[in-house]
Amino acid sequence: MNEELIDFPDAEQELFEHFRFVVDAGQEMLRIDKYLQHKIANASRTKIQSAADAGNILVNDKPIKSSYKVKPHDTIAILLPHPPRIHELLPENIPVNITYEDDEFIIVNKNPGMVVHPGFSNYTGTLVNAMLWHFEHLPKSSVENRPGLVHRLDKDTSGIMVVAKTEYALAHLAKQFFDRSNDRRYYALVWGDFETDEGTIEGHIGRSLRDRKVQDVFPEGDQGKHAVTHWKVVERFGYVTLVECKLETGRTHQIRVHMQHIGHPLFNDASYGGDYIRKGTTFTKYKQFVQHCFDACPRQALHAKSLGFVHPKTKSWIQFDSELPNDMQTVIEKWRHYSKFNASEE
């Protein structure tokens, strides 16, 4: 057999599986859904058909239907969401702020402090546990009850997330995140002021060579994966700035590590140097003020404010927006007042 199985070189997100098969010269013609069902472990025929319907299966670089019959030497590329490990999870009645729901997906405004999915040291209390409970208690006539993650937010990052409810929606949304055709915008409060009103940060992101728990930027591109963040100033407070960040890629800790790289770490970001007092540290009054701000927002000041994508069923563009959480609003108001009345005195 001369078939080869190759992982895609730019597997951007661990939530997806990426495969490419080159069909053996002796392969008889066979429906592609049946062919792939035997080639990919734990891939049901329904899952493969949903991937084809969403345009996630390419043969010789062209999207095909699940009825397509493979031929010798065909090159097949497929993008699949990872199968959820529902058998390892328990539904939990955890309050979740659901801002929108239809037959295809749910929009959640995640609170800071909530882990998105189970992992080491976080086996319960996650968004996935909450979604399992929610799906379990949907009306009997509802569509397939399963949590479908297509993206993540850090534990202490708040904001908008989409959770798919059907196999088709999961495949369709996964392709949009993988192709970067959606629109993700975050609000971040960062240290320092900017010389310009907007800019772009480019630099490969990968695990730090000094501390494996955090990410680092490799400007020469010798390590990590390509990452691009577009930013623009929303409001200036002298010592800190509120910026909007638009993601062109979706790397781990992307905004946090990119902002640290250009000298503007996120306010109170303990992992990337934003949790100590910068600028004006000789003034006791200023120190006390910043410490009160840290107490009011005890996490990195980062919020996923909006998310836009093509609706899986209607194919129309749909956009969701959210208000900043109370902790960030409180800190921003404190800085707004401080910069207006106190900065000039110092």
Q: How far is CA 278 from CA 240, 259, 336, in A?
A: 9, 15, 17
The token duo for 310 is 């093509």
121 and 233 assigned to the same domain = no
68 and 171 assigned to the same domain = no
202 and 318 assigned to the same domain = yes
Mean pLDDT of the 108-120 span: 85
What pLDDT does residue 8 have?
29
Question: Is residue 35 predicted with pLDDT exceeding 70?
Answer: yes
CATH of the domain at 108: 3.30.2350.10
Mean pLDDT of the 261-287 span: 88
Q: Please identify, among 63, 81, 99, the residue that sits at the C-terminal boundary of a domain.
A: 81
Other Cβ atoms closer than 10 A to 320: 17
Question: Is residue 274 predicted with pLDDT exceeding 70?
Answer: yes
What pLDDT does residue 4 have?
33
Tally the domains of the chain: 3
22 and 93 assigned to the same domain = no
What pLDDT does residue 86 have?
44
42 and 101 assigned to the same domain = no
Alpha-helical (H) ranges within the chain are: 32-39, 45-53, 127-136, 167-179, 254-261, 284-296, 326-341
Other Cβ atoms closer than 10 A to 91: 17
Parent domain of 134: 86-179
Mean pLDDT of the 125-135 span: 86
28 and 68 assigned to the same domain = yes
Q: How far is CA 134 from CA 3, 92, 145, 223, 337, in A?
A: 43, 9, 9, 41, 41
Question: Is residue 213 predicted with pLDDT exceeding 90?
Answer: no
208 and 283 assigned to the same domain = yes
Q: Please answer whether residues 188 and 165 qualify as being in contact, where contact means their C-beta atoms are separated by less than 8 angstroms.
A: no
Q: Please identify, among 53, 81, 109, the residue that sits at the C-terminal boundary of a domain.
A: 81
CATH of the domain at 71: 3.10.290.10
Helix (H, G, I), strand (E, B) or coil at 41: coil
What pLDDT does residue 19 have?
81
Mean pLDDT of the 196-205 span: 96
Q: How far is CA 243 from CA 191, 249, 303, in A?
A: 10, 18, 11
Q: Please identify, among 128, 153, 179, the residue that sits at the C-terminal boundary of a domain.
A: 179
pTM: 0.77
Q: How far is CA 16 from CA 12, 22, 51, 132, 160, in A?
A: 8, 20, 12, 20, 20
What pLDDT does residue 140 have?
37
What pLDDT does residue 119 have?
66
Mean pLDDT of the 99-121 span: 88
169 and 102 assigned to the same domain = yes
199 and 162 assigned to the same domain = no
Question: Is residue 253 predicted with pLDDT exceeding 60?
Answer: yes
What pLDDT does residue 221 have?
79
Tell me the C-alpha distance between 114 and 252, whole Å. 17
Q: Please answer whether residues 156 and 304 qualify as being in contact, where contact means their C-beta atoms are separated by less than 8 angstroms.
A: no
What pLDDT does residue 99 have?
96
Which sequence positions are flagged as catalytic? 154
Task: Put residue 61 in one of left, alpha, beta given phi > 0 → left and psi -120 to 50 → alpha.
Answer: left
136 and 190 assigned to the same domain = no
Mean pLDDT of the 45-73 span: 88
Tell me the C-alpha distance between 177 and 174, whole Å. 5
Question: Is residue 141 predicted with pLDDT exceeding 50?
Answer: no
66 and 100 assigned to the same domain = no
Confidence of residue 280 (pLDDT cuts 50, 70, 90): low
112 and 151 assigned to the same domain = yes
Other Cβ atoms closer than 10 A to 212: 8
**Residue type (1 letter), 342:** N
Confidence of residue 198 (pLDDT cuts 50, 70, 90): very high
Mean pLDDT of the 214-237 span: 92
